[in-house]
């Protein structure tokens, strides 16, 4: 199977399995304290200039460890694809400024994925790097109805 067919197959499978769960959790989530809650913005690959819409749910797990669930859109030619994945990050906070970092193995698709970032309760910026890509996520709190 060539790369294009594989990406299409994986994308369609992820859309059918993960999208409805993420959408349900997105609608149910509220913005609580700190950086927990819903975020929306864009991802941008500095490697190939691809970019599109990105949503994220942040949940505190324990202590300074937070769980993130991302749901991204991507246009593969004329075909829109949605995909989701989760990451854990270690967060520190001082005077309303948050710093975070982590890594995750995203398998053959992206390899070992490192990310760092910073933000406030109203905006977050991630910088990511993997063997196959690098770029940014810029997120803000969604407006009512987003």
Q: What is the pLDDT of residue 46?
A: 93
Q: What is the pLDDT of residue 126?
A: 94
pLDDT digits (tens, 9 = 90+) for 32-55: 778 999 999 999 999 988 888 999
pLDDT digits (tens, 9 = 90+) for 118-146: 999 999 999 999 888 899 999 999 987 66
Residue 105 bridge partners (DSSP): 112
Residue 146 in domain: no
Average pLDDT rounded to a whole number, residues 97-109 = 88
Residue 115 bridge partners (DSSP): 102, 128
Closest CA relative to residue 110, chosen from 137, 136, 129, 84: 129
Query: Is the pLDDT score of 73 beyond 90?
Result: no
Compute the distance between CA of residue 68 and CA of residue 117 in angstroms, rounded to an integer: 13
List CB contacts of 35: < 8 A, sequence separation 6 or more. 58, 66, 91, 98, 119, 121, 124
Residue 95 in domain: yes
Q: Label residue 56 by pLDDT band (50, 70, 90).
A: very high
- The total number of structural domains in the chain stands at 1
pTM listed for this prediction: 0.80
Residue 63 in domain: yes
CB-based contact 57:37 (threshold 8 Å): yes
- Phi/psi of residue 30, nearest 5 degrees: -125, 155
Residue 68 in domain: yes
pLDDT digits (tens, 9 = 90+) for 4-16: 544 544 444 444 4
Compute the distance between CA of residue 100 and CA of residue 86 in angstroms, rounded to an integer: 15
List CB contacts of 19: < 8 A, sequence separation 6 or more. 71, 82, 84
CB-based contact 19:82 (threshold 8 Å): yes
CATH number at 126 reads: 2.40.128.120
Residue 145 in domain: no
Domain limits for position 92: 3-140
């Amino acid at each position: 199977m060539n790369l294009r067919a594989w990406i299409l197959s994986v994308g369609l499978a992820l859309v059918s399995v993960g999208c409805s769960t993420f959408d349900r959790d997105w609608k149910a989530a509220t913005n609580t304290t700190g950086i927990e809650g819903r975020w929306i913005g864009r991802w941008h690959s500095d490697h190939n200039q691809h970019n599109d819409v990105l949503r994220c749910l942040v949940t505190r797990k324990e202590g300074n460890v937070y769980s993130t669930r991302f749901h991204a859109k991507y246009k593969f030619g004329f075909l829109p694809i949605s995909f989701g994945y989760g990451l854990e990050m270690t967060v520190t906070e001082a005077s309303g400024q948050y710093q975070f970092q982590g890594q995750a193995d995203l398998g053959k698709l992206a390899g070992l994925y490192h990310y760092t970032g910073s933000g406030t309760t109203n905006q977050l910026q991630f910088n990511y790097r993997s063997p196959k890509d690098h770029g940014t996520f810029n997120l803000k709190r969604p407006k009512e109805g987003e």
